[in-house]
């Protein structure tokens, strides 16, 4: 049975001889030029392409959420930390399905992947009995006449529930959003800023996988050098169509073919070593880590010598990324919940964080060596 090349070049010994010549087409390239394909923006698309498929994004989000969750949030009233307090009990067990750590981990993770995190208060008889963390893609801002949110619509299971912000003793919903210069209500996630590098990293992995599946050989060009002259116009168009459908694209990279009828293979594409996909993936991975504020050294990405050692990279993560994030979430919770709990506030306790031990020791030394401060002032400065 003749293969597709034989059918293209005439079909067999008894096939009629084609006399019409089409000059000028003797080289058929398999290189496909066109605009880049980018993943769609939006929470669902970015999470599917990033968190669910990209190991760098997954590790960045998990690292930030788990590390930030290690910082305990304590309740303070009149400058005193209280272990026994209704607000402390609420933060410890916000609802029947989650612990406080699980809820806060979801908050930190949603801020990294969606740029928005929501907490809904369960209010019964004027008292806050529970806190819930809904998915950000199910919440929609309902703006009033002045443009400020007056309610939030929560949609799930085909039903929409409106959560008003004029409830007592506090608004139904706390909306935490990272800064977005072009949006009045919704935040911009680090995952959205890393979209270009995310697509490059994923595409490099797909290309390398396709090369491995097809004997790790790149594409090239076909040269027609038969003694009969050039390909006819019909032969050229059919051959071009067959090559594009069967051999072009990342999914068909390096796919072998059978040549006959005056066709010769000429490699014109760069080799994988010349294109250096591994280094391209590492560069994209570093850009992804940069968007999340995670030192690449902590992710095992080679080629990054910005930090002298792993301990310094870990301190940089805490100083530049985790501490601002935890402080912001604690302030948001405090401003939201304080009116319902007699003015009690929520504070982060960084004393137990090993990576910040040197910073805390330096603070204690500076405060302790200041003779012009009273003991009460010193205690206040170190957070006691």
CA-nearest of 275, 291, 114, 269 to 203 is 275
Is 51 a domain residue?
A: no
Residues in a beta bridge with 142: 151
The reported pLDDT for the residue numbered 272 is: 58
Peptide bond into 169 cis (omega under 30): yes
The reported pLDDT for the residue numbered 253 is: 59
Is 359 a domain residue?
A: yes
Is 49 a domain residue?
A: no
Dihedral angle computed from the Cα positions of residues 36, 37, 43 and 45, in that order, rounded to the nearest 10 degrees: -160
DSSP state for residue 166 in the 8-state scheme: S
pLDDT tens for residues 333-383? 999 999 999 889 999 988 878 777 777 777 777 777 777 778 777 777 766
The reported pLDDT for the residue numbered 240 is: 72
Q: Give the DSSP per-residue string, 94-154.
A: -SSS--HHHHHHHHHHHHHHTSEEEEEEEEETTEEEEEE---GGGEEEEE-TTSSEEEEEE
Exposed, middle or buried, 352 (CB in 10 Å: 0-12/13-18/19+)?
Answer: exposed
- Phi and psi for 267 in degrees, rounded to 5? -80, 120
Query: Which residue reads 């609420």 in tokens?
Result: 90
The reported pLDDT for the residue numbered 302 is: 75
Strands 116-124, 173-177: parallel, antiparallel or unpaired by DSSP? Answer: antiparallel
Residues in a beta bridge with 164: 151
Tokens of 10: 């005439």
Is 378 a domain residue?
A: yes
The reported pLDDT for the residue numbered 81 is: 85
The reported pLDDT for the residue numbered 242 is: 72
The reported pLDDT for the residue numbered 271 is: 61
Residues in the chain with pLDDT values less than 70: 1-40, 211-222, 224-231, 243-244, 246-277, 303-308, 382-384
288 Cβ neighbours under 8 A, 6+ residues apart: 54, 56, 57, 60, 194, 197, 198, 201
Is 361 a domain residue?
A: yes
Is 371 a domain residue?
A: yes
Is 366 a domain residue?
A: yes
How many structural domains is the chain composed of?
1
11 Cβ neighbours under 8 A, 6+ residues apart: 2
Is 376 a domain residue?
A: yes
pTM: 0.76
CA distances from 222 to 96, 132, 261, 359 (A): 66, 62, 12, 65
pLDDT tens for residues 48-57? 888 999 999 9
The reported pLDDT for the residue numbered 3 is: 52
Which residues form the domain of 378? 353-384
The reported pLDDT for the residue numbered 26 is: 45
**Are 141 and 164 contacting, i.e. CB atoms less than 8 angstroms apart?**
no
- Phi and psi for 299 in degrees, rounded to 5? -100, 0
Residues in a beta bridge with 265: 222
């Amino acid at each position: 049975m003749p293969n597709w090349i034989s059918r293209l070049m005439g079909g067999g010994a008894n096939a009629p001889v084609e006399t019409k010549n089409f000059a000028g087409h003797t080289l058929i390239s398999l290189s496909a030029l066109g605009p880049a394909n980018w993943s769609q923006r939006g929470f669902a698309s970015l999470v599917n392409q990033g968190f669910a498929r990209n190991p760098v994004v997954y590790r960045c989000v998990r690292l930030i959420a788990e590390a930030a969750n290690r910082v305990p949030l304590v309740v303070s009233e009149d400058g005193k930390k209280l272990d026994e307090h209704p607000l402390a009990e609420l933060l410890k067990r916000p609802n029947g399905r989650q612990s406080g750590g699980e809820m806060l981990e979801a908050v930190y993770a949603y801020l990294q992947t969606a740029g928005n995190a929501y907490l809904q208060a369960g209010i019964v008889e004027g008292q806050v009995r529970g806190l819930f963390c809904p998915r950000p893609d199910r919440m929609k801002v309902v703006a009033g006449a002045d443009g400020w949110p007056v309610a939030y619509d929560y949609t799930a299971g085909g039903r929409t529930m409106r959560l008003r912000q004029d409830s007592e003793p506090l608004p139904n919903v706390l909306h935490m959003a990272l800064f977005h210069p072009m949006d009045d209500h919704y935040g911009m996630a680090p995952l959205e800023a890393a979209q270009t590098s995310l697509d490059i990293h994923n595409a490099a992995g797909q290309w390398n996988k396709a090369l491995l599946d097809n004997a790790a050989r790149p594409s090239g060009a076909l040269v027609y050098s038969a003694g009969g002259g050039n390909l006819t116009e019909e032969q050229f168009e059919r051959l071009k169509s067959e090559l594009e459908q069967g051999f072009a694209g990342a999914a068909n990279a390096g796919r072998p073919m059978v040549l006959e009828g005056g066709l010769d293979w000429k490699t014109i594409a760069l080799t994988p070593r010349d294109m250096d996909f591994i280094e391209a993936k590492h560069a994209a991975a570093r850009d992804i880590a940069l968007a999340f504020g995670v030192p690449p050294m902590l992710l095992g990405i080679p080629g990054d010598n910005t930090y002298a050692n792993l301990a310094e990279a870990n301190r940089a993560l805490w100083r530049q990324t985790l501490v601002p994030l935890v402080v912001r979430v604690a302030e948001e919770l405090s401003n939201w919940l304080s009116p319902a709990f007699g003015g009690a506030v929520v504070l982060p306790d960084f004393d137990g964080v090993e990576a910040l031990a040197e910073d805390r020791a330096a603070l204690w030394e500076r405060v302790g060596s200041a003779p012009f401060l009273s003991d009460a002032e010193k205690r206040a400065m170190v957070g006691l």
